[in-house]
Amino acid sequence: MKEGYIEVKESVPHAGSYDVIVAGGGVAGAAAAVAAARGGARVLLTEKTVNLGGLATTGLINLFVPLCNGRGKQIITGMAEEFLRLSVKYGFDTLPKEWKSGPPNKPTDERYVTRFSAPIFSLALSELMVKEDVDVLFDTVISQPVVTKKGIIDGVITESKSGREYYSAKTIIDVTGDADVLFRAGVPTVQGKNYFTYCCYAQSLDSMRRAIDADDVSKVTEWVYGGNATLYGDHQREGERLYEGTSNTDVTEYMLKNQLLALEKIKTKDRKRFDVVTIPYMPQFRTTRRIDGDYTLKESDKYRHFFDSVGAICDFDRRDFLYEVPFRTLVNSNWQNVITAGRSAAGEGYAWDVLRVIPPAILTGQAAGTAAALSVKNNVPVIKTDIKLLQKTLEKDGVTIHFDDALVPANNEGGEKADIGHF
């Protein structure tokens, strides 16, 4: 036995057998589960918290970044748009009037972007899972993938109030955001680094008055920050290190420091006129760990068509920039029945940022779920997905596979900043 280790032998009950296991119920997981279920698969979604939506809800990141190119043309379609509409169906929206009821019929600088109520979106996702017959297990952490033959994950061991249990599946979708399943199975992964960021939702008598004057509840929220570094590292506090977010000690230090910093700011407020309504219940890490995929999307891939594109996406920060997402960013072909999506898709540098935000995470979730359902239906490993069939199925389900060349600016330029107020 390796020094410093103990050996544990145990029998774990085989609690269920599924076509597809979706590990993680963030927006990518929710999209993957629904797409797989709509494709006819029996789906189990396990989520370690008791709410769906991940960073977008539990993590309080309630800005659905744009689905358009910044010129009035919608780029990201399919379930990303379905989820955008769902996010504001029962709660407020901040959609510009040009996009209130679909694409505008003339060019506009306004972007197809909205804030949404994070708790209400989470509840709406639960309603969707029930409607689509996805079996959900809350408060259930996937602790260990089971690999009996190299390149195949037979199933996963979960940890919950029921103890340790085993669930098997034909295809596994790792949408934990941290590539937990991939990493623990031995699939090659790449570690990311994170600046120091933490935000809570607050309200004050002043913000309430502003909301009442405007008759608009979306104006009631104020933000209290611990760290408030942007994804570019602006406002990273001096002397603060970068965090990986893939060990309990790293996560704990990050959270404690951020929580205490936020509390220092709260202490300066008048406690009779100010309240913090919600704190984040998961760490707000942007890039923790992702698959070392068969292809890694790069910033220089903008305006490039891919034969295995699973959808066109746009840049949230810059007008005109367009990308396609190759299926190969979701898989590592040494692993037969495993696919990823969302924050763990393979992108590098700024391209990872473009790929991981809410709409592309949903798009890759839809692609992974659809591919998983096709693989079960046709009895082929997900890695051997017939790309043409996948693209045809995604197109039928509303996804734009290739961007329109007419939207590419002269000399492949573009990239004018288009501030949408993200944090």
Give the total residue count for the chain: 423
163-202 residues near ligand FAD, rule: CB under 6 A:
175-178, 180, 197
Q: Are 372 and 41 in contact (CB under 8 A)?
A: yes
Among 343, 370, 400, 401, binds ligand FAD (CB under 6 A): 343
With contact defined as beta carbons under 8 Å apart, do 201 and 280 qualify?
no
Bridge partner residues of 322 (DSSP): 314
Whose Cβ is closer to ligand FAD: residue 46's or residue 375's? 46
Q: Among 361, 363, 399, 401, indicate the residue that binds ligand FAD (CB under 6 A).
A: 361
Burial of 129 (0-12, 13-18, 19+ CB in 10 A): buried
Q: Which of 29, 192, 227, 293 binds ligand FAD (CB under 6 A)?
A: 29
Question: Does residue 317 interact with ligand FAD by CB under 6 A?
Answer: no
Answer yes or no: are the C-beta atoms of 315 and 262 closer than 8 Å. no
Q: Does 24 bind ligand FAD (CB under 6 A)?
A: yes
What one-character-per-residue DSSP string does 253-297 give? Answer: HHHHHHHHHHHHHHHTS-TTTEEEEE--SS---S--EEE--SS-B
Binding mask 246-285 for ligand FAD (x = CB under 6 A): ------------------------------------x-xx
- Smallest separation, CB 273 to ligand FAD (Å): 27
Closest CB to ligand FAD among residues 50, 212: 50
Kindly tell me which residue out of 187, 358, 371, 390 binds ligand FAD, with binding defined by CB under 6 A. 358
For 22-52, give the DSSP string: EE--BHHHHHHHHHHHHTT--EEEE-SSSSS
351 binds ligand FAD (CB under 6 A): no
Q: What sign results for the dihedral spanned by CA atoms 350, 351, 352, 355? A: positive
54 contacts ligand FAD (rule: CB under 6 A): yes
If binding is defined by CB under 6 A, does position 23 make contact with ligand FAD?
Answer: yes
Q: Which of residues 323-342 bind ligand FAD (CB under 6 A)?
A: 342
DSSP structural state of residue 15: E
Q: Copy the structure tokens of residue 273.
A: 């006129």
- In the complex with ligand FAD, which residue's Cβ is closer, 104 or 145? 145
Q: Is 227 in the site for ligand FAD (CB under 6 A)?
A: no
CB 379, min distance to ligand FAD, A: 27
What angle (nearest 5°) sits at the alpha carbon of residue 54, between those of residues 252 and 332?
A: 90
Sites of contact with ligand FAD (CB under 6 A)? 23-29, 46-49, 54-56, 61, 63-65, 141-142, 175-178, 180, 197, 282, 284-286, 342-343, 356-358, 361, 422-423
